[in-house]
Structure 1
Amino acid sequence: MSKAETLRELLADGEELAIVCHNNPDPDCLASALALGRIAAAAGIDERRILYSGDISHQQNRAFVNLLEVDLREFDPESVRDRAENSLVALVDHSVPGVNNEVPEDVPIDVVIDHHPAEGIEARFVDHREAVGATATILTEYVSELDVAFDEVLATGLLFAIRRETLGFLRGVTRDEYEAARTLHDYADPDMLRRLSTPAVSGATVDAIADAVDNRTVKGSVLISHVGRTSERDALPQAADYLATLEGVETAIVFGIVDDEIELSARSTDPRIHIGNALGDIFGDVGSAGGHREMAGGQIPLGVFADLTASGTDAELVGIVARVVTNRLVSGLKLASDSGDSGTSGNSADSGSDAN
């Protein structure tokens, strides 16, 4: 049997399905969850839940949920630990319990569909394709093969997710993404796609991106910057996307303090660097980090700085975090101190000042 048929057979034996999104889900995760729910409904599962942890904070993610009316519920770890015998648990766009999700590590998983690099994946059904550009591509293939109906909402969500995940078919795109887009094109709503692509941007997001511009340090073709403390988690990848377009920059890494974590976002077009592996090597001992060759991220618990900042101010904390993280990146990426520093301002990481 094909992967799609094997999945349908597994779902047909279930009575409930909990589809767990990764923390702070993006359109690829949300659209994939929506599609898997439709496949489960066609297989006879009446009780389906899409669950998430973290925030729906990025303006595009909020627009996606609102315009497509995705029914999301907050994730309760106990709901998957103490589940009925015929209740299934699926992970889409992530693959390992406890990694970028709140799923307890000892919870057995029934379905995993993902395209991110990962090891140690265990589930009754696994479709893990690192080569494809988006998890939504895989789900589009399933929906088409299983003759599940494409309506405007589902097709628009999947097509937007593929476009967003591949930055408009420019990053990590494969033939499969083009094939999926061709399948979805006739069903998708062009007006809704435009509205999803151009949501309103909050002032706080603009401020955070401006801080990243001001605080940038360029060493050769690598740009490192920070936004200080921010409530706009999703401003980090937006800032990284923007700064990666600067002339001469091949790798852009932006970090900042969000709640009780240091968040990192990175973009790279340098063929010599696998930025996901690089971040994993640099920060794996103090947090979690990883991703693709061209796009990656990470989280470091702020508690690792507790002893250094127990009696300091928030401005001092930002300064210490900026220096330590920047120095780790410089050392880990083997950037010589004389490799052409440029573009720094008075609020650079080395100054230790608050970026807010």
Structure 2
Amino acid sequence: MTKARELFELLAGAEELTVVCHNNPDPDCLASTLALGRIAAEAGIDERQILYGGSISHQQNRAFINLLDMELELFTPDSLGERDAGSLLAFVDHSLPGVNNELPEGTPVDIVIDHHSVDDVEGRFVDHREDIGATATILAEYVRELDVTVEETLATGLLFAIRRETLGFLRGATTAEYDAAGALHNHADRDLLRTLSTPSVSGATIDAISDSIDNRIVRGSVLLSHVGRTDERDALPQAADYLATLEGVETAVVFGIVEDAIELSARTTDSRIHIGNALKEAFDDVGSAGGHREMGGGEIPLGIFAGYRTDDERFVDIVENVVIDRLADSLKLSPSGD
């Protein structure tokens, strides 16, 4: 039995589906969630809910949810309630309870569909493909095989997610992404794709990106920078994407203090570096970090800086020094950048 058929059989035997997005869900997670919901509906599940943690602050992500008319609820300790045999719990675009999501560690998950580099993935149904460029590619494959109706909203969401996750097929794209995009192309709404691709940008995001430019440190082909304190968490990947395009830069890591944690976003085109592994090596003992060869991210609780007040004028400098030292060790950078 194929993975698509195996998933459908599991869904067909259930009455309720809850999909838990990872914290601060992006288009790949959101489109995959939308597609899983459509498959569940085809399997006869009428009770479906989507939960998320963190925030949805990126302009593109907010536009995605609004334009595709998705209904999401913020995760709370009471969100799951009493689960029975007819209730399924699913992860898409992430894999482990308690890692980049609000579920307590060890919570049993029924369905896991992901493409990130992680170990020890468990579930009644697991499709974990690290060699695929986007989770949306896997769901697009399911939709095709199961002959689920591909209306404009679903096709547009999946196609946009694949394009966004692979930076227009330039980062981590495989033949599977091209095949999926080809199948979705004629069903997608071109105007909606254009709108999703060009959302308005807030002044706070521009300020954060500007700060990352001012604070950059370049060692060889590696650029490290920070934005200080920001409420614009999603400015970090936007800053990393921009700084990675600077002449001579092959690897860019941008971090900032967001609420009670240090958030990181990284990009690389250097074939010698697996940026997800580098971030994991640098911060796995103090937080959650990882990702793919070409892109990664992480979150470090501020608790590792015990003894310093978050309103201390020196605090940002302390964070900068500690984070850059760890990154320099992990990326094997010399002080001069040689």
**TM-score band (shorter)?**
over 0.9
Alignment of 1:208-227 (within 5 A): 208-227=208-227
Matched, 1:79 2:79: yes
Whole-angstrom CA distance in 2 between matches of 1:82 and 1:318: 43
2:139 maps to a residue whose letter is: L
Q: Secondary structure, in 3 states, of the residue corresponding to 1:206?
A: helix
Q: Deviations over 1:264-302 (max 9, x none)?
A: 000011111101001100111111100000000001001
State the shift of 1:303 in Å. 1.4
Cα-to-partner distance string for 1:62-106 (whole Å, 9 max, x where unaligned) = 000011111111123443363133100000000111111011223
Spell out the pairing of 1:125-140 with structure 2 (5 A cutoff).
125-140=125-140
Q: Distance in 1 between matches of 2:274 and 2:305?
A: 28
1:112-127 superposed matches below 5 A: 112-127=112-127
Contact 1:260 1:301 in 2 (8 A): yes
Whole-angstrom CA distance in 2 between matches of 1:300 and 1:70: 30
Q: Secondary structure at the match of 1:85?
A: coil
Compute the displacement of 1:316 (Å): 1.3
**Structure 2 counterpart SS, 1:264:** strand
Q: For residues 87-98 of structure 1, what are the structure 2 equivalents within 5 Å?
A: 87-98=87-98
- The secondary structure found in structure 1 opposite 2:34 is helix
Amino acid of the structure 2 residue aligned with 1:35 = A
Matched AA of 2:322: V
Give the AA of the match of 1:14.
Answer: A
Give 5+ residue unaligned stretches, structure 2: none
Provide the rounded CA distance (Å) in 2 between the counterparts of 1:93 and 1:81: 23
- Give, in whole Å, the separation in 1 of the partners of 2:25 and 2:299: 15
Q: Tell me if the contact between 1:28 and 1:93 (Cα under 8 Å) persists in the aligned partners.
A: yes
The one-letter code matched in structure 2 to 1:255 is F
Q: Deviations over 1:196-231 (max 9, x none)?
A: 000000000000000000000000010000000000
Q: Does 1:249 align with 2:275?
A: no
Q: What letter matches 1:334 in structure 2?
A: K
Residue in 2 aligned with 1:50?
50
Secondary structure of the corresponding residue to residue 297 of structure 1: strand
- Letter matched to residue 170 of structure 1: L
CA distance in 1, matches of 2:108, 2:49: 17
Q: 1:102-113, aligned counterparts within 5 Å?
A: 102-113=102-113
Q: Which residue of the partner structure matches residue 346 of structure 1?
A: none
RMSD (CA atoms): 1.1
Pick the aligned partner of 1:316 from 289, 314, 317.
314
1:105, 1:333 → 2: CA distance?
A: 30
Whole-Å Cα distance in 1 between the matches of residues 233 and 83 of structure 2? Answer: 32
Matches within 5 A, 1:93-242: 93-242=93-242
Partner residue in 1 for 2:297: 297
Cα pair 1:227 1:254 within 8 Å, conserved: yes
Secondary structure, aligned partner of 1:321 = helix
Residues matched between the structures, number: 338
How much does 1:315 deviate?
2.8
Give, in whole Å, the separation in 2 of the partners of 1:323 and 1:27.
Answer: 33
TM-score by length of 1: 0.93
Most deviating of 80-89 and 44-53: 80-89
Aligned residue identity for 2:270: D
Q: CA deviation at 1:338?
A: 1.9
The question of whether the paired residues in 2 share the 8 Å contact of 1:22 and 1:29 is answered with yes
Conserved in 2, the CA contact under 8 Å of 1:15 and 1:86?
Answer: yes
What amino acid sits opposite 1:321 in the alignment? V
Identity rate, percent? 70
Q: What is the aligned partner in structure 2 of residue 306 from structure 1?
A: 306
Q: Conserved in 2, the CA contact under 8 Å of 1:219 and 1:339? A: yes
Give structure 1 stretches of 5+ with no counterpart: 341-356
Question: Where does residue 270 of structure 2 map in the other structure?
Answer: 270
Q: Secondary structure at the match of 1:44?
A: coil
**Is the 1:227–1:255 Cα contact (8 Å) retained in structure 2?**
yes
Q: 1:334 — aligned with what?
A: 332
Query: Does structure 2 conserve the Cα–Cα contact (< 8 Å) formed by 1:28 and 1:161?
Result: yes
- Partner amino acid, structure 1, of 2:129: R
Paired letter, 1:187: H
Q: TM-score, normalised by structure 2?
A: 0.98
SS in 2 for 1:263: strand
The aligned counterpart of 1:15 is 15
